[in-house]
Amino acid sequence: MPRKVTRRDILAGAAGAIGAATLAPAGQRVHAQDTTKSPGGPASAIGARSPHEPLARGRVTGLSSRTPLQDLHGMITPSDLHFERHHGGVPEIDPDDYRLLIHGMVERPIVLTLAELKRFPATSRICFLECSGNYPTGAGPETKPELVCGMTSTTEWTGVSLATLFREIGASSDATWFLAEGQDAAVMTRSVPMEKAWDDAMIAYAQNGEALRPSQGYPARLLLPGWEGNSNVKWLRRIELADQPFMTREETSKYTDPLADGTARQFSFVFDARSIITSPAYPDVVEPGWIELRGVAWSGRGTIAKVDVSTDGGRTWQEARLQGPVLKQAHTRFRHLWRWDGSETEIMSRATDDSGYVQPTRAALRAVRGRRARRYHLNPITAWRIQPNGQVYYREEPPWDA
């Protein structure tokens, strides 16, 4: 934050020494460095980030990395900052060697090369993709948005709609599920209801205008808008149509939701609505006065209808402004102007989608999921605590199983 320019600075002629000295008298330098007096660098083969904006992820493990939500603007996630979660590492696949097999309850089992896949009519859409396990357990006050729920990202995906392929090969009307299998060392498999194929599923080969990155499933992945990340199988090599789910490990012993009543939800694909204020958030330090609260909201059920914001610990709520375009199953930006008086408080956001679903509190979620809930499909309201000195902290939650 540059120091304010005072009248005395100007009178003393000290303007040249300070950053934003646009009021400098004629003849004096405005910037510390004048870039207008010699040509700049040449055009670049690949545009690079400014060295002053070193966007990076905060924590990378061998198995996962996250989107730094607190450092981004707008709704689109740069491809290289899309979250990652792998079960068998990132395979290196030669596109000439790539084959997709579709078989099972179809008239004509088929093998497609990547080039053949790309000959089918293309379709594009912008949507979020989120890891099923996007929840921080045991997070302390010094937790950034990235570590609260940075395993969600929004990009544009281009590929072939699954319906196009299933028509082509004569999918049986008796088929109710299909298996998607990856070409990684986990040979990842998930069963998906056929309704999703006829609705909006696609095989994506491009992201944000260019070929998929290896970490996103190059050369082709399954894309199920609004559905849990794990079922969007990367490095897709095989699809098999059947009349029942295959009951793979990931859809039985993992990614299922034990409930307080003693049953476990299975095939809970669709993400419920969620939101988070990404600015201000830890580690920001704010000053009293006007602050624009900014954040992101999304729902696998549909379109974000509204986001409410509270600046008094959840006692009262005001509707935030949504930033267009507001797209189905995509990150939606919200903003809310607030004048902070310098006293300690908590700020939070609450998303509502067009199905009428309202983002729950942690307590409401805990009542349904129970003490033994696993870390899947959790979407509670997130709060930030602002201290009188302006330091913003993540509001810690009690241990889930307390």
Segment 173-192, which members bind other proteins (CB under 8 A)?
Answer: 173-174, 179, 181, 185-187, 189
Rounded to the nearest whole angstrom, what is the least distance from the CB of residue 373 to other proteins in the complex? 8
* Alpha-carbon gap, residue 343 to 387, rounded angstroms: 7
Q: What are the C-alpha distances in Å from 299 to residues 112, 152, 207, 384? A: 33, 11, 20, 21
350-389 binders of ligand HEC (CB under 6 A): none
Total of residues contacting ligand HEC (CB under 6 A): 4
Residue 298: name the closest of 274, 322, 324 by CA: 274
* Alpha-carbon gap, residue 261 to 195, rounded angstroms: 29
Which residue of 262, 324, 398, 399 would you call a contact of other proteins, by CB under 8 A?
Answer: 262
Q: Angle 251-257-254 (CA atoms, 0-180°, nearest 5)?
A: 35
Asked if 226 and 121 touch (Cβ cutoff 8 Å), the reply is no
- Binding-site string for ligand HEC from residue 175 to residue 194, where x marks contact by CB under 6 A and - marks none: -----------x--------
Residue nearest to ligand HEC (CB): 87
From ligand HEC, other proteins, none, interface partner of 149 (C-beta below 5 to 8 A by class): none
59 binds other proteins (CB under 8 A): no
Which residue of 94, 96, 261, 341 would you call a contact of other proteins, by CB under 8 A?
Answer: 261
- Binding-site string for other proteins from residue 100 to residue 139, where x marks contact by CB under 8 A and - marks none: -xxxxxxxxxxxxx--x--xxx-xxxxx------------
Rounded to the nearest whole angstrom, what is the least distance from the CB of residue 188 to ligand HEC in the complex? 9
> For ligand HEC, which is the closer residue by CB, 49 or 249?
249
What is the dihedral angle through the alpha carbons of 328, 357, 193, 367, rounded to the nearest 10 degrees?
140
- Binding-site string for other proteins from residue 71 to residue 90, where x marks contact by CB under 8 A and - marks none: ----------------xx--
Q: Where are the alpha helices (DSSP H) in 120-261?
A: 145-149, 162-168, 194-199
Phi, psi at 290, each rounded to 5°:
-70, 135
Q: Collapsing DSSP states into helix, strand and coil, what is residue 352?
A: strand
198 binds other proteins (CB under 8 A): yes
238-257 binders of ligand HEC (CB under 6 A): 249, 253
Residue that has been written with the tokens 């998930």 in this structure: 190
284-343 binders of ligand HEC (CB under 6 A): none
Asked if 236 and 177 touch (Cβ cutoff 8 Å), the reply is no
Q: Where are the alpha helices (DSSP H) in 191-257?
A: 194-199
69 binds other proteins (CB under 8 A): no
214-243 binders of other proteins (CB under 8 A): 225, 237-238, 240-243
Rounded to the nearest whole angstrom, what is the least distance from the CB of residue 249 to ligand HEC in the complex? 6
358 binds other proteins (CB under 8 A): no
Q: Collapsing DSSP states into helix, strand and coil, what is residue 152?
A: strand
Residue that has been written with the tokens 């102007």 in this structure: 337
Tell me 8's DSSP state: H
Asked if 273 and 301 touch (Cβ cutoff 8 Å), the reply is yes
Rounded to the nearest whole angstrom, what is the least distance from the CB of residue 269 to ligand HEC in the complex? 19
> For ligand HEC, which is the closer residue by CB, 68 or 182?
182
Rounded to the nearest whole angstrom, what is the least distance from the CB of residue 263 to ligand HEC in the complex? 20
269 binds other proteins (CB under 8 A): yes
Q: Collapsing DSSP states into helix, strand and coil, what is residue 71?
A: helix
Asked if 81 and 72 touch (Cβ cutoff 8 Å), the reply is yes
What is the token pair recorded at 208?
């944000």
Q: Collapsing DSSP states into helix, strand and coil, what is residue 262?
A: coil
From ligand HEC, other proteins, none, interface partner of 331 (C-beta below 5 to 8 A by class): none
195 binds other proteins (CB under 8 A): yes
362 binds other proteins (CB under 8 A): no
From ligand HEC, other proteins, none, interface partner of 101 (C-beta below 5 to 8 A by class): other proteins
Q: Could you give the count of Cα atoms lying within 13 Å of 323 in the half-sphere of its Cβ? A: 17
- Binding site residues, ligand HEC, CB under 6 A: 87, 186, 249, 253
